Structure 1
Amino acid sequence: MAFLFSTFLNTYRPLIISEWVEKLHTECGEQYAARPVEELLQTITRAVDANYQVLVHKNYRDINTFIDKITDMRLKAGFLLSDVQRAFELYRMILTGLLISNAPREDFHEIFERLNLCLAYTMHRFSDHFQDMHHKKIIQQNRELEQKVKKRTAALQESERMAYIGQITASLSHEIRNPLSSVKMNLQILSSNQKITGNDKRRVDISVSEVIRLEQILNQVLDFAKPLQLNINSCNICHILDSYIELLEMKFKEKNLSVVTTFEDKLPLITADGEKLGQAFINVLINAIESSDPFGKISVTFKKTIKQNHEYATVLIDDEGPGLDGKNREEIFKPFFTTKAKGVGLGLANVKRIIEAHNGFVRAKKRRFKGASFSIMIPIGNI
């Protein structure tokens, strides 16, 4: 072929790129018109060079890579398939006009056929890839929607269950509290009677303490049944953790437990209910204390983590107790589940309720060697 197609394409490359960018902005739909010129210039330059490899060398590697990338970009940005196909047609129009003016008549048919084959391949591959990715995107969106529906259904069921518990608790509280108060008052009168001594006095004192424990259980159940209301403010997690660790100092000393804190520097404030978060932290800390053997160690770590492109303030509380088996790990956050002889089973359930109200997560797992690890994640920023 006397006409050097490669020289022609190199000579008119700047003109082809500039005209293609201009026509995309003015003749190819609102999505293209809204794109920055710099972005289109970069994309079109890659397209022109990839087409060059096909037209001159019949090398499809660059155009395949370009199609894969541009398909993903255009699909995420919400471009119509017809607009993208129109964009490739514009390239044909620009190049055809230049060829009519410059290519010899005897070479025109062969060159034009080569151009058509290049664009037919490009548009078919792009269309197939676009539709395949669109199908995958729909499937993914359906899965995400199913997960959201499942999560919201579970939350609604839990809310209904808690409302039912609240109704039962409220109706029973009056029936239980009054006779319980009467029993406690009479036992306290008996306990103060000087004539009751020895084992009889000890039995009365044990009865008083057990009645008081029953009242505390009743109060916990009543509190748990109440709707959770958050008072949102800016919170410093480090200060909250420090204050509750200090509050539990005597409990740590009773079992000779050491507390090791590791707080990441310069972490931002978060918007949350600091008092409620404090309740969650203290419940996990008390659980760690009760699970720990004497002279053990409890570690408290505060750091920033990233999960699914979202930033979280993460608190890790690790102990050196017996740890968690697989079954208990799934059950410990459910209301009224407990492995303790005198436990009510509401402490960790309340932790889960508080953290999830902040759009956060709480997880528990067995540590590799010894003990349990609790992870509390609260979103940084608005909840």
Structure 2
Amino acid sequence: MSPDDPGHDEVFRLLVDTVEDAAVFMLGPDGRVVCWNTGGERVTGYCATEALGKHLSHVYLEEDLASGLPQRVLDEAEQQGQARTEGWRVRKDGSRFYSRTLYTALWHPDGRLRGFAGVTRDITARRETEARLREAQEALRRNELLSRMGALVAGVAHEVRNPLFGISATLEAFDARFGHSPEHAPYVSMLRREVSRLHQLMHGLLTYGRPPSTELHPCTLSSVLHESVDLTAALAREREVQVEVRAEPGLPRVPMDPSRLVQVFQNLLANALQHSPRGTTVRLTARGLADEAGPRVECLVMDQGPGFSPEELPRVFEPFFSHRAGGVGLGLAIVQRIVEEHHGSVSVGNGPEGGAEVRVFLPAEGGVNAAPDSGGR
């Protein structure tokens, strides 16, 4: 049977209708559907009578139509014999699916373009599985790296701590004897400042290198938030910045190591205060969420400072990355590590009116109103 035999299309239809896991179709030279199998209905939602006569672009997204992608694909198939395309498409009901399609040009014996044969497969589930696998592999690689780095920095910090204590004690003795002298006072002040920075660095390294908490117990989050505010009160007074806390009534309890979570919000508040102009307000809010991810608590720290620059955003959680003069660059790295120990997540961004925003999501015990939190300390 020749390709131009009238019975050829019938044989093609009977053949492709046996394929149920893919849309197999033929297009005319103008890109309109002339043959559509039952698999096409399963993939796109359009039955054969609805699909016939439609242009292939009817399943493409608006942005693809605006860029002329459908016609480019057909042009490539005509010029090269075949063209492959992959991306998000839209079903009849408006839902999206991720597909991979092969277009093959068909020709009359005299060399005229007859049309195109196409095969589309819905690979949404496969793509999501591959994405989850990549995320799991990246998380495993990152955790192994952090574990090795944590052990290294904790060891270094431990070895440095003893001589640093000796330097601090010597400085105190020197200050007691010579600190009142105008000749020595500037040097004592400078040494105190630098020793203080080293103490902060050692504390950060030891915190970052601390082994993950293995036991988490359900506790109220309000007490953690208020303790963090108390610990940063002196910095807030020094910076002349107000700290406002708003915890939604009825928050569920969160499985936690309270001292570790206090470190999280102390770091976030300190970071916000250090970047806030005088006379502004840093806000810390907490609310319960109940969605497909399960019961969670969302905590948000907002300041009125300059916010994160586009160059900073991809790197803010990297250890030792800091644009602040005198900054160690461990604050947000420690935050991320502790939050992940609590099976939560943290993200950063900028508010619609400026200023930085840091969101912390923590899994909660039970429903949003299952364990009322009095909001006290």
Deviations 1:283-318 (A, max 9, x none): 111111111100001122211234544232111111
Are residues 245 and 189 of structure 1, via their aligned partners in 2, closer, same or farther at CA, if it must alter by over 3 Å?
closer
Are residues 189 and 243 of structure 1, via their aligned partners in 2, closer, same or farther at CA, if it must alter by over 3 Å?
closer
Between the aligned partners of 2:155 and 2:229, the Cα distance in structure 1 is: 37
Deviations 1:311-339 (A, max 9, x none): 32111111100111122122111111111
Deviations 1:243-278 (A, max 9, x none): 322343333232332233332222222222222222
Q: Residues 36-47 of structure 1: matches in 2 within 5 Å? A: none
Deviations 1:21-63 (A, max 9, x none): xxxxxxxxxxxxxxxxxxxxxxxxxxxxxxxxxxxxxxxxxxx
Choose which of 286, 292, 296 in structure 2 pairs with 1:302.
286
2:330 matches 1:346 = yes
Scaled by the length of structure 1, the TM-score of the pair is 0.58
Task: Give ranges in structure 1 of 5+ residues lacking alignment.
Answer: 1-63, 69-131
1:318–1:371: 8 Å Cα contact kept in structure 2?
A: yes
Q: Residues 107-186 of structure 1: matches in 2 within 5 Å? A: 139-173=123-157, 176-186=160-170
Structure 2 letter corresponding to 1:216? Q
Structure 1 runs of 4+ aligned residues shifted over 4 Å read: none
Q: Using CA pairs below 8 Å that are at least 6 residues apart, which structure has the higher relative contact order?
A: 2
Between the aligned partners of 2:153 and 2:301, the Cα distance in structure 1 is: 32
- Give the corresponding residue for 1:226: 210
1:191–1:205: 8 Å Cα contact kept in structure 2?
A: no
2:347–2:358: 8 Å Cα contact kept in structure 1?
A: yes
Q: CA deviation at 1:150?
A: 1.9
Are residues 338 and 179 of structure 1, via their aligned partners in 2, closer, same or farther at CA, if it must alter by over 3 Å?
same
- Give the corresponding residue for 2:185: 201
- Give the corresponding residue for 2:270: 286
Choose which of 212, 233, 238 in structure 2 pairs with 1:254.
238
Choose which of 363, 368, 371 in structure 1 pairs with 2:352.
368
Q: CA deviation at 1:137?
A: 11
RMSD (Å) for aligned C-alpha atoms: 3.0
2:344–2:361: 8 Å Cα contact kept in structure 1?
A: yes
Q: Return 325-334 or 160-169, whichever deviates more.
A: 160-169
Between the aligned partners of 1:189 and 1:196, the Cα distance in structure 2 is: 12
1:190–1:196: 8 Å Cα contact kept in structure 2?
A: no
Structure 1 letter corresponding to 2:296? Y
More helix by share: 1
2:179–2:185: 8 Å Cα contact kept in structure 1?
A: no
Between the aligned partners of 1:328 and 1:205, the Cα distance in structure 2 is: 33
Are residues 379 and 174 of structure 1, via their aligned partners in 2, closer, same or farther at CA, if it must alter by over 3 Å?
closer
Work out the percentage of aligned pairs sharing the same amino acid: 28
2:158–2:206: 8 Å Cα contact kept in structure 1?
A: no
Are residues 150 and 183 of structure 1, via their aligned partners in 2, closer, same or farther at CA, if it must alter by over 3 Å?
same
Structure 1 letter corresponding to 2:353? F
Between the aligned partners of 2:225 and 2:216, the Cα distance in structure 1 is: 18
1:263–1:302: 8 Å Cα contact kept in structure 2?
A: yes
Q: Return 246-255 or 329-338, whichever deviates more.
A: 246-255
Are residues 288 and 195 of structure 1, via their aligned partners in 2, closer, same or farther at CA, if it must alter by over 3 Å?
closer
Q: CA deviation at 1:171?
A: 4.9
Are residues 157 and 264 of structure 1, via their aligned partners in 2, closer, same or farther at CA, if it must alter by over 3 Å?
same
Are residues 147 and 208 of structure 1, via their aligned partners in 2, closer, same or farther at CA, if it must alter by over 3 Å?
same
2:220 matches 1:236 = yes
